[in-house]
A and B are shown apart, each in its own frame.
Chain A
Amino acid sequence: MKETPARAAAVTVEHVSKRFRTPEEATHTLKERVLHPLHGRGHREFQALRDISFSVREGEFFGIVGRNGSGKSTLLKCLAGIYGVDAGRMYKRGRMSTFIELGVGFNPDLAAWDNVVLNGIMMGLTPAEAKARYRRIIEFAELEDFQELKLKNYSSGMHVRLAFSVAVQVDADILLIDEVLAVGDAAFQQKCFDVFNRMRDEGKTILFVTHDMGAIVRYCHRAMLLEHGDMVAIGSPQDVGDRYLELNFTAQEQMHAEGERAGDGKARIIDAWLADSGGERQTQALQGERCTYHAIVEFYETVANPSLTVAFRNDHGENVFILTTIIEHDRTGTHQAGERLHYAVSFDNILGPGRYEPLLNLAHRGSGHDLIDRWERQSLVVRGSAATGGVVDVEGAWTIDQPTTDHPVGGAV
């Protein structure tokens, strides 16, 4: 990929490697050292990052994605200067601020002032700056009336708000953001992302670590995928997203081999996808669009009249709606080993903008609880501009006119 950077690189990483040495057995006391002088040397080496090189241009929202243990958080901590690297170099241009955890060093027994000043200094402000910005920080956190309280008397929401406003007021040029930041409630997560979007619009450089592909697609200009400490993909969020799903897919395949999959395994859902009105596979869908959900089922044993259910779950784990064959298509006949079925169900996408997890259940005839297989692999992002704030957005047909006389208007008839 040939890049002609319009703007200079804000962060440059060149051939960075990082190893962790974990002692085979924790030898933490002198006695153990003295009694087992040779054991103390036994280290297990763990290669957390292997020869990583990339650069992030100024003003770019750059996503770092990977599964648990892929090294993404380690990379962030190396960039933040919390871990030293074993090889390679890293450069930055401008003030860098880390959002790995909010409110680091907050003391529950002290009031807002002391905590804000200390936290501000820790995050890179001078004491004078920290004091000067105190008012703005408190206002942003909407805590004007609670300044005298000790932090331990704050609700967790207030605590997070205070910590977040300190971090925001540091006004760094480069922000390193870990996904753990977004652990608050939905409203707070939204506020975080609003701020990050605003910062992006202001031209700040943002490096964002997550395992949520949906967030990458929604917010990032460019992304990179880590797997076992290797950089396996870098490029557009869509490309990286595809690669990520592929990786997850193979990982799940391996899991099946180990027999960890739900259901009795007499048949398997071997593929499932969402297609847009043009029949193209998508991980994103437009609100209001006519969509089709496809699934391919392969039978390994004889199964009679199985049912397939597709549930769309939102971020809160609620089933927004469920499409099922149980009600109207409960008799598909008896299927022999080796046979394949292609299920397709089309529907109007009434889902509000957001992220959803389609969950497919293949079950024996009946209530749908006697599972043959379960499939849950790919999140679905719904985009759209006409969000009403409801869980779903239904197209309603309004008529607005003068009431006719035969309408009873108030009162008893």
Chain B
Amino acid sequence: MAADSAAQTVDLGEQIKGPSALSGDLRRSIQLTIAIARNDFKLRFFGSALGYFWQLMRPMMLFGVLYLMFTVIFPLSDLPAFGVALLLGIVLYTFFAEATGTAVTCVMARENMVRKIHFPRIVIPMAVVLTACFNLALNLVVVFIFAMTAGLRPHWGWLELVPLLAILLVFAAGIAMLLSALYVRYRDVQPIWDVFLQVLFYGSLILIPYETVVSKDYEQIAQILMANPLAAAVEEARHIIVDPSYVTAADALGGAVWLLIPLAIVASTFVLGVRVFQREAPRIAEEL
């Protein structure tokens, strides 16, 4: 008891705490996230002759092929500027798939860091999401180049894309945290998520747009699919960027109130992701 009371009167300095998701300093977490993401991004085409040029060229060529394939050779839809709408969908899906798919194994991939040094664990999945953001930005540049060629002209309405992407980012971050924490305990997460991402590609109405599904008298199904936040985001982005004839997410769902469903899914995934990651973070170094 004497020792206890002495400990309270004597200033022993700062208490050493174990590892956690966000150990205290938010600024340090952000700095670290940026530094890791930056290095990851740099690595991608480092060493190839054209270097960063490929960051733009690769999606450019890939999109060129898809554009030709699905608008000229085998047109999927006669909706206005469908090629651009298709690319926009692919780019948003790619972002989501990359961020979450890479996140699954990211903690394991950085095992050495986790076991050897003290830092906020949340940095690892966040850096993955941030790297995916860098790629999204570049891909969007390419999409806008295609949009220009297709005759679309930028207007202030395009700025609505910013909050939309922010919501998508929160969704991806939530899932990234959830999966990376679960994977440490359950290795099954990886194959499950791989399959799920495939399903999500079709479930997000990227190749076959909402309008086509509705025109085939599957309005009910299309409406249900719109509860998927990714599908809603893609549809809304098409409305904003490509042409107003693509319905808004609200209309597709059958009213603005229904928007609450995808939004609630995003919010609850994020909260769940943070919770699970926080719970697992202190023991990650031991469980690996």
B118 touches A82 (CB 8 A): yes
- Residue B58 interfacial (CB < 8 Å): no
Q: A29-B186, A91-B16 are in contact. Are A118 and B47 (CB under 8 A)?
A: no
Q: A28-B187, A84-B19, A110-B39 are in contact. Are A12 and B12 (CB under 8 A)?
A: yes
Chain A residues within an 8 Å CB radius of B7: 14
B186 touches A109 (CB 8 A): no
Give Cα distance in the complex from A121 to B39, angstroms. Answer: 13
B286 touches A83 (CB 8 A): yes
- Residue A79 interfacial (CB < 8 Å): yes
- Residue A321 interfacial (CB < 8 Å): no
B43 touches A126 (CB 8 A): no
Give Cα distance in the complex from A121 to B118, angstroms. Answer: 11
Chain A residues within an 8 Å CB radius of B153: none
Count chain A residues whose beta carbon lies closer than 8 angstroms to a beta carbon of B.
44
B19 touches A82 (CB 8 A): yes
Question: A413 to chain B: closest CB distance in Å?
Answer: 68
- Residue B116 interfacial (CB < 8 Å): yes
The stretch among B28-36, B83-91, B92-100, B234-242 that forms the contact with chain A is B28-36
- Residue A384 interfacial (CB < 8 Å): no
B14 touches A100 (CB 8 A): no
The stretch among B71-79, B107-115, B131-139 that forms the contact with chain A is B107-115
Chain B residues within an 8 Å CB radius of A105: 36, 110, 112-113, 117
- Residue B18 interfacial (CB < 8 Å): yes
Q: A89-B15, A91-B15 are in contact. Are A31 and B188 (CB under 8 A)?
A: yes
Counting contact residues on chain B (CB < 8 A from A), the size range is 35 or more
Q: Is the interface of B mostly helix, strand, loop or mixed?
A: helix
Give Cα distance in the complex from A91 to B42, angstroms. Answer: 39
Q: A91-B15, A98-B118, A100-B116 are in contact. Are A82 and B35 (CB under 8 A)?
A: no
A93 touches B19 (CB 8 A): no
The one of A28, A29, A85, A104 that contacts B117, using a Cβ cutoff of 8 Å: A104
Give Cα distance in the complex from A94 to B11, angstroms. Answer: 13
| In the complex, residue of chain B having the shortest beta-carbon distance to the beta carbon of A31 | B188
A127 touches B35 (CB 8 A): yes
Apart from A80-B118, A82-B18, A82-B114, 19 more pairs, CB < 8 Å: A12-B13, A20-B286, A28-B185, A78-B16, A79-B16, A81-B18, A81-B19, A82-B116, A84-B17, A85-B18, A91-B14, A96-B16, A98-B116, A104-B116, A109-B47, A110-B43, A114-B42, A122-B119, A127-B31
List 28 A–B pairs whose Cβ atoms lie within 8 Å, in order of A's numbering.
A10-B13, A28-B186, A28-B187, A29-B186, A82-B115, A82-B118, A84-B18, A84-B283, A90-B15, A91-B14, A91-B16, A93-B14, A98-B117, A98-B118, A100-B116, A104-B117, A105-B36, A115-B39, A117-B35, A118-B36, A118-B39, A122-B32, A122-B113, A122-B117, A126-B28, A126-B31, A127-B34, A150-B47
Footprint of B on A, CB under 8 Å?
9-10, 12, 14, 20, 28-31, 33, 77-85, 89-94, 96, 98, 100-101, 104-105, 107, 109-110, 114-115, 117-118, 121-123, 126-127, 150
